[in-house]
Amino acid sequence: MIDKKLCMKTLDEFAAFKYDWDSYGAEPFNKKHLNKVKSFINDLKEDIPQPWVVPCLNGSIQLEWNINKKHLEIEITEENEIIWLKSFNKETKKDFKDEKYETGETDCRDMEEINKLIDWISGK
């Protein structure tokens, strides 16, 4: 089950990142965007697996899940778009020869589409 408080704590840590936090010149995160991501996470169902909350160099925030050879990435952009990637048949991070991908985009308010993605990774 998702621990939303842990996700919020991680986002609060990202808010403290200074210029060059990645040592490649990344800008600090937009606090308004981080608040929108918090709202997005609060809108997620309670019975979903815990995601990794990952900072992206372009200012986006990504949620990631790896469950039973399936991988899901949901990137929340500063423009309130969702860019997603589903992959399956994943043995290891270095073995991509048999991996199958699906990608897409949606609006961050399209919870029906987002819930379908999360249901897929959850095996529902």
- Segment 10-63, tens digit of pLDDT: 999 999 999 999 999 999 999 999 999 999 999 999 999 999 999 999 999 999
pLDDT at 56: 95
Task: Give me the phi and psi of 50, to 5 degrees please.
Answer: -70, 125
What is the residue extent of each domain of the chain? 4-122
State which H helix or E strand residue 103 sits in: strand 100-107
What is the pTM assigned to this prediction?
Answer: 0.89
Cβ atoms of 85 and 72 closer than 8 Å: yes
Please report the DSSP string for 55-78 in residue order: E-TTS-EEEEEEETTEEEEEEE-T
Q: Is residue 90 scored above 70 in pLDDT?
A: no
